[in-house]
Structure 1
């Protein structure tokens, strides 16, 4: 079993989570860290006891290290596209934090370059590693619910608005949609095997973020804190998608799959004002069906586990690099949710339904189950 050498681009909090996860893997050596802020990479290496790690302010210098196998990209959203492209062209395998990109065009470019170079582009959606997320997909894929014709997903925090780069449109690209909405979309799209979206009709607001009563950086708040959309898919299914960073409500409801033979209600794990969105594990599942005796409903028995989802994400990527496996969560799949987020923002701005155009030269699953 060979060891692999990785670098971390970005020195913020999420980069620290990557460093901690990599250090638990005996076959991984972190040999380089880069951050645009002078001195921050050195501070990062010291904080996480990375004694023989090189520090850079320019990530391009990090990418010149010939023995470097892979990089974790943990930078603001706006930089994801270019850094990923440069890393792939430098022959490095890439683990990229969500969201994949700011625009759909960037996401398409990233997937194209991954294919051209043969490099791995894996996007960081750790909730997929919850055994109950896999159980959910197994139930839907089994056909037990029949044909899925309506899905509702999303979530809302009573209060949970970040600040800094998250609310700067030039750096983040979008707000709640890109920050936590992408998790809801991945939950549904992965469960349904990534059907192709056709149209989006959406509405977004930022009533809370731009109000000093609710946010200390209201004068700097440039993105949406709430959004709702209806998405039509090619398989005669519709998705109602809703997300909120702040609201006068305790919940926006569970995720629901309605099928011709049954329905499934799924709620996320967690309590408190920052919970209520799909960032981690499944909290509960209920199955609804009919038989000759009438209406039936039952709780789905969830699998107990003590899995650290973030560590699993990093481990799976590292093992894929070591073993030469394909990307655990390939960019081709995440491209679909980027298309939906792009459509949501366009529809809201134009105040009308918009079409979603996906490139047909990129191979994407098109059938449910």
Structure 2
């Protein structure tokens, strides 16, 4: 079997931290033959470290899309560029993996869906947190009905102080927003996926610009002080989502907030048979899943037992990004659906935009 030929658009942080290592780990299925970045040195560095022999360097993504050898494109750019690059990639006959969020607004997300459906190619979005072991455990429990009717959920994406100080994260024109669209998107994706409910009816939201422009608030930031003068996005946001079947979801997202618990890419589920909570983030050295229910007349909490280890031997678990990448490549090769479906990612974008709209207008946003 010949390896899938990958072209990467955007060779910055997420490419180097997630995508390049994941594709290297799955080098039996793929090779990166083209690298594109508006900063040429980034593309050159990526090619030198991860590229196939003779890998090409581009500064304009149109040139990469015109490369006939490229079969699959990974779109790893700031949020506002996701749509034009993805649409052009489908028009060029490429499969597309786009980083989260799908788009910075619903109109762009719709355009991406339409281009995908016309293309006949594969499409997925970068929600790798679905592939964490405890997340997979909870998903199986939900599918088996072990929680019963899940009628309420919380999506947690809170950092006490972890404002990104690199790239374009504080730039609203490039990203479309701050922590809500950056990390809130992961927590919301997990919660919707567990509930298997993608029919929102209405959304109410509050978006706060309280700490981003305060110099004293930068103290203790994980990544060092950010520049309050150039900070344009929200520092925290909250949303309440009502679904058509009467279930509800509360979403909290923050890069900076005066709250002791930092809980990120986590979910709380309340069902008629049992509840479940995933704890992940800066407050937790290890990710944890806790089921809660009544048993034999008492309330019980149940956790995954630690697997332990044996000296000089490691377990077989792979990083979520590696697992995500492999199932994506196999979906292309085998003609099967990837785990993260574009229609699901669209609903995440739809809800996030509605939270921003509700906060700006002071009104509940009706979606269905």
Cα pair 1:69 1:321 within 8 Å, conserved: no
Give the structure 2 partner of residue 41 of structure 1. Answer: 43
Counterpart for residue 299 of structure 2? 296
User: Tell me, which stretches of 5 or more residues in structure 1 are unaligned?
Assistant: 277-281, 358-369
Question: Is 1:194 aligned with 2:185?
Answer: no
Determine the structure 2 residue equivalent to 1:366: none
Deviation at 1:241, TM superposition (A): 0.8
1:70–1:303 CA distance, 2 compared to 1 (3 A): farther
Distance 2:187 2:305 in 1: 19
1:159/1:246 contact within 8 Å kept: yes
- Once the two structures are superposed, what CA deviation does each residue of 1:9-48 show, in whole Å capped at 9, x if it has no partner? 1121222232222223123221111112244322332244
Q: Which residue of 2 aligns with 1:327?
A: 338
The equivalent of 1:360 in structure 2 is: none
Instruction: Spell out, residue by residue over 1:267-325, the C-alpha distance to the aligned partner (whole angstroms, 9 max, x if none).
Output: 12x545xx79xxxxx8222223235x423213132585632111112222222222332
Q: Deviations over 1:31-68 (max 9, x none)?
A: 11111224432233224465411101111111111221
**Structure-2 change in CA distance of 1:83 and 1:302 (3 Å):** farther
Structure 2 match to 1:348: 359
TM-score (norm 2): 0.88
CA distance in 2, matches of 1:240, 1:115: 32
- Where do 5+ consecutive residues of structure 2 fail to align? 219-224, 308-314
Q: Within 5 Å, which residues of 2 pair with 1:156-167?
A: 156-163=158-165, 164-167=167-170
In the alignment, what sits opposite 2:140? 138
- Check 1:206–1:84 CA distance in 2 against 1; reply closer, same or farther (3 A cut): same
Shift of 1:192: 1.3
Cα pair distance change 1:338/1:303, threshold 3 Å: farther
Asked if residue 85 in structure 1 is aligned to residue 87 in structure 2, the reply is yes
Structure 1 counterpart of 2:257: 247
User: For the residues of structure 2 that align with 1:303 and 1:70, how far apart are their CA atoms?
Assistant: 38
Per-residue CA deviation, residues 330-369 of structure 1 (Å, 9 max, x unaligned), is 2111111111101100001111211125xxxxxxxxxxxx
| Contact 2:190 2:267 (8 Å CA) reproduced | no
TM-score w.r.t. the length of structure 1 is: 0.88
* Larger CA deviation: 99-108 vs 248-257: 248-257
Instruction: Compare 56-65 and 321-330 and name the one that shifted more.
Output: 321-330
Specify the alignment match of 1:363 in structure 2: none
Q: Which residue pairs with 1:126 in the alignment?
A: 128
Preserved CA contact (<8 Å) 2:102 2:125: yes
Number of aligned residue pairs: give it.
348
Match of residue 240, structure 2, among 220, 224, 230: 230
